[in-house]
Structure 1
Amino acid sequence: MITKSFEVQQCQWKVLQLFSGSGGATLGFQRAKVNWRGMQGSFKTLAGIDVDPRACENYEYLTGSKAVCMDLFDKRDYVAFHGHEPLSNWHEANPEDLIKTTNGEYPDLVFLSPPCKGFSALLSQKTSETERYQALNRLVVRGIFLTLEAFKDDLPAFFFLENVPRILTRGKKLLHTITRMLESYGYVVNGRSHDLGEIAGLAQHRKRYLLVARNPRKISTFLYQPPKQRIKSIGEILAKVPLPDDLASGPLHRLPRLQWKTWVRLALIPAGGDWRDLEEIAPEQYRLEYVPRGSGPFGVLDWEGPAATVIGKASVKGSNAAAIADPRLKPREGRHACVYQVVEWDEPAKTVTGTRFGSGASAISDPRTGFKDNTHHIVYKVNKWGDEANTVTGAYRPNNGAMSIEDPRMSCSPRSGTMGVTSWNEPAKTVIGAGDIHAGSAAIADPRIPKDNETLDPPPIIISLDGTWHRPLTTLELAAIQGLPLMVNGKPLQFSGNSDAVWREQIGNMVPPDAGQVMAEQALYAFMASAEGVWTMAAEGIWVAPEGDMHDHEPLNQL
């Protein structure tokens, strides 16, 4: 659609997104505006389609565009994925359903970001080959087929298919099917991997695969790759975000509460490192010192002295003394005074009663370390790797004999990047759907040390040797790294539901809006040049060349 307004032609093309998730790509397409040769190009969003109602809700909230909840499985794959027959109100989506979604309008560009779990390296090869995940993978073929059939009377100018790079290997056959199918409808196809961090100037390295199909009957010119940009450091993004637990930033900015040992591990891992650095630590080199913020945490009041000021957030680990040294040692009603007491070896025993261990002093500190004749002398013994074994007996538990060995071959083998701590001045690793410290580099060496706060549940702050606070990233910070706005409609960013795990999965799976924007802008240049019948040149590489100029294409047998 091209309309003339004053001296500038307003040019608008229509986009449809399948497997739209929370709408990151669509938000990027909405931001795209291109001025070229007296024309101003932009996109109009027809709809986003996804099967997840919460993703659809987030899509509408974030983009302001219509989302349609639709299951694109055929019945066979529905059963294979879910393990049961569909409900009575379910029906197999057909081309007419897609036409209804767009209210009869035909898209100029279709952007697909289908489920990537079955292709992802986060899933084991064995699991990825199960019928359940193969059914999930086949959604991409079905989605493209439905779209081609729905709009075959006026086919889109472009198909953009975005996924993880491993689709090139785990989805090789599917890509071959997709390519042949698009070619049968007259498209020229190219697929390659690229780094969204480089093309969009993100604060993360995000390697992805992009397949572009161009309709030469509608687009006669080159589609160029976006110019590469500087990848930002994670600190450039997080410096704009308040410190975690800031109440004005909403529930997405709550700092994960970790176990104490996990906080210590993060503190000992150098910035830029991960769990493997813990293997190099000599325990005798470090001494942990607890220095609470403010005065009074774990304070114990003297029975004879005055109390500290009573405050509204009093707790034993709070900012004021909230414990008492009570001299009244009367036993609770119905309880012995010697509950769980251990009698010294050289002291007289308490009265023998018929009670169990938890009700009286029925334990003794026995200094004798020998064993009776009928007891193994190798109880709980651990054999050295270089020594001979003890006699093999019929015992089957370590407390019956030396059935343990100090095996030097054992090693910890979490996933690469587990407990990774990102340096403030370096780009982040790829934001993934399982973004927490146990699944990848989801912690930051933050140079901003918090001052005393008044939260009910303050996290421990351990200052690492580099002088920074090694802490996990909040959900809001992951969203910021993905390029999402921190405020929507004047309020802090918020997603549907109340699960951080679900929020993080949706954030990690989405196409960063900045990446969607640069891809949309390249498409707009191609649309406008083709509308003018102009051939263009650029210093960047070509995504999809005009028909007959295939030198930049990867051989189809490699897809």
Structure 2
Amino acid sequence: MTTTYKALHLFCGIGGGALGFQEAREEYRGVVGRIETIVGIDNDPEACEDFEIITGAPSVQMDLFSKGQYVDFHGEEPGTDWNEVKPSDLLDATDGVYPDIVFTSAPCKSFSGLLGKDRAKTRKYRALSKLTIRGIKLTLEAFEDDLPSLILFENVPRITTRGKDLLDKIKKLLKRHGYEVSDGFHDCGSIGGLAQTRKRYLLIARNARKVDSFVYHPPSKPMKAVGDVLESLPIPDGVAGGKMHKVPRLQLKTWIRLALIRPGKDWRDLESVDYEKYGLVPLSTGFKSGTHGTIYKVSRWNEPANTVTGSFRPNNGAICINDPRLGCRPRSGTYGVLAWDQVASTVTGSADVHASTCAVADPRIPRLNESGNWIILSEDGNWHRPLTTLELAALQGFPTSINGRPLELSGKSEQRWRERIGNAVPPAAARAIAETMLRTLLATRQTDWLMSSEEIWVQPIKDELEATRATG
């Protein structure tokens, strides 16, 4: 027997949360629970396209700003084709279906440490941060006749400081509507068995009138190394990986810096480099001592990576890796290098440095600020390079191919692809959360009291807890 619960995803992005929910399965007393996506809602039309491709579920493009928030964020009045979303619009988006679970992951940019504190306080970013409570209000009003059993609110950990006033309002609002609320932190890498450390904030609201059982923390899983995830992918820049598996073009000085940074270290490692040893002019970064530690971070192939963010270049926080997969055994006569001032050998049909003399000793040394893709082997024998967009998606736990073709997000902007991937909820972590939700909902359906050795995420109200203890 199978019981299906319905989920609505607000600020759905490319669908990491929804995909994880859809993959979740939990069995309780012979009943299998699963989750079906009603719809995903997001303001970004490209994210909505991605959502449908990745999850197979419908999406609706919808700007959830109030008019005042729109003006504060954009600095101008909306056009005549823009309308402020009402609760009824949310109900229309679900075709009148009332969700059992609502998962919301509102924009976190204003709460993130990657955005300066002063800038986060500006009118523009305060408007963005208010989408957190706006989304909850719309949900409660749209489905007030039959409120969801569970509401999950996910964001960055720093929301508890930068967004404390908003969180207090959200909790009070939920409690006025009969929800028991618990919040805290978890590592998506641990609960999802990922190859990255990804600390997140999660608030869980349990509808006390519908759900009287505990909601438990998902069990921890062994984390993977970066190489465990990436070794099945082809070397970057080939045809097999598709357009998202390309190494970004970087300035030569950036490639040199990455080659000099030891695996596991970041830009601060450059301060101790003996540049005379390499015959190099010191490449000062100009960073201050308080600069974020992920800049120029080179992750180890055999360890989990740092958090995948929406950053685009290595010098603003994107992840790099020491890739060991460059070894080969060339046959005699390959890698021939022509002299610049001499006649070349015969040009053959296999014009490849691996097959013939098809390289040249070019005296035109690139300038340090000239961009390109240079492979510089570090002292550890590996290629220290930025991760490709496809590899970032893989570390987040997204499928790297769909219908037999490499994953390809909508649009043409690599920066936008990376931003959407970095903002996504890892599907494996979402699945772990969903399975503990299912366990709670299935137990409630059979009027059972659920027990687990795991930590309790959401506890019953005090009177319920005392009554439970009194009856053993």
Structures share fold, TM-score greater than 0.5: yes
Shift of 1:484: 0.4
Of 119, 123, 137, which aligns to 1:131?
A: 123
Structure with the higher fraction of residues in helix conformation: 2
CA distance in 2, matches of 1:42, 1:206: 26
Of 307, 315, 336, which aligns to 1:438?
A: 315
| Matched residue type, 1:196 | C
Counting only pairs closer than 5 Å after superposition, residues 69-84 of structure 1 correspond to structure 2 as 69-84=61-76
- Which piece of structure 1 moves more, 202-211 or 444-453? 444-453
For the 8 Å contact 1:268–1:464, the answer to whether it is kept is: yes
CA distance in 2, matches of 1:37, 1:145: 36
For the 8 Å contact 1:435–1:508, the answer to whether it is kept is: no
| Matched residue type, 1:425 | N
Match of 1:197 in 2: 189
Match of 1:259 in 2: 251
CA distance in 2, matches of 1:496, 1:454: 35
CA distance in 2, matches of 1:56, 1:548: 41
Counting only pairs closer than 5 Å after superposition, residues 229-308 of structure 1 correspond to structure 2 as 229-287=221-279
Match of 1:529 in 2: 443
CA distance in 2, matches of 1:504, 1:446: 20
CA distance in 2, matches of 1:108, 1:23: 18
CA distance in 2, matches of 1:193, 1:69: 30
- After TM superposition, the runs of 4+ consecutive aligned structure 1 residues lying more than 3 A away are 410-414, 450-459
Deviation readout 1:40-96 (Å, 9 max, x if unpaired) = 110111000001111111111111111000111111111000100011011110111
CA distance in 1, matches of 2:207, 2:320: 44
Deviation readout 1:476-534 (Å, 9 max, x if unpaired) = 00000000001112211000111110000000000000011011101000010000111
**Residue 548 in structure 1 maps to residue 462 in structure 2:** yes
| Matched residue type, 1:443 | C
Of 304, 321, 326, which aligns to 1:427?
A: 304
Deviation readout 1:417-439 (Å, 9 max, x if unpaired) = 21111111111000001143112
For the 8 Å contact 2:251–2:372, the answer to whether it is kept is: no
Match of 2:348 in 1: none
**Residue 179 in structure 1 maps to residue 56 in structure 2:** no
Shift of 1:286: 1.7
Of 66, 77, 80, which aligns to 1:85?
A: 77
Match of 2:398 in 1: 484
Gaps of 5+ in 2: 329-334, 336-351, 359-370, 466-472
Shift of 1:22: 0.7
Identity percentage of aligned residues: 50
CA distance in 1, matches of 2:464, 2:234: 49
Q: Tell me the secondary structure at the aligned position of residue 56 of structure 1.
A: helix
Q: 1:545 to 1:261 in 2, by over 3 A?
A: same
| Matched residue type, 1:14 | K
Q: Tell me the secondary structure at the aligned position of residue 194 of structure 1.
A: strand
CA distance in 1, matches of 2:327, 2:246: 14
Counting only pairs closer than 5 Å after superposition, residues 14-413 of structure 1 correspond to structure 2 as 14-287=6-279, 412-413=288-289
Shift of 1:536: 1.7
CA distance in 1, matches of 2:121, 2:82: 27
CA distance in 1, matches of 2:327, 2:22: 37
Shift of 1:275: 1.0
- Which piece of structure 1 moves more, 35-44 or 445-454? 445-454
CA distance in 2, matches of 1:40, 1:415: 45
Shift of 1:459: 3.3
Match of 2:364 in 1: none
Deviation readout 1:434-473 (Å, 9 max, x if unpaired) = 1431122511011111658789999322111111111111
Shift of 1:287: 4.5
Larger Rg: 1
Shift of 1:155: 0.4
Q: 1:450 to 1:82 in 2, by over 3 A?
A: farther
Shift of 1:226: 0.2
Gaps of 5+ in 1: 1-8, 289-407, 552-559
Q: CA RMSD in A?
A: 2.0
Q: Tell me the secondary structure at the aligned position of residue 251 of structure 1.
A: coil
| Matched residue type, 1:146 | L
CA distance in 1, matches of 2:452, 2:232: 35
CA distance in 2, matches of 1:102, 1:172: 31
Q: 1:287 to 1:504 in 2, by over 3 A?
A: same
**Residue 505 in structure 1 maps to residue 382 in structure 2:** no
Aligned length in residues: 423
For the 8 Å contact 1:14–1:46, the answer to whether it is kept is: yes
For the 8 Å contact 2:234–2:240, the answer to whether it is kept is: no
Shift of 1:117: 0.5
Shift of 1:411: 6.2
TM-score (norm 2): 0.87
Q: Tell me the secondary structure at the aligned position of residue 85 of structure 2.
A: coil
TM-score (norm 1): 0.73
Match of 2:379 in 1: 465
CA distance in 2, matches of 1:209, 1:548: 24
| Matched residue type, 2:293 | S
CA distance in 1, matches of 2:223, 2:87: 41
Shift of 1:550: 9.2
Q: Tell me the secondary structure at the aligned position of residue 252 of structure 1.
A: coil
Q: Tell me the secondary structure at the aligned position of residue 246 of structure 1.
A: coil
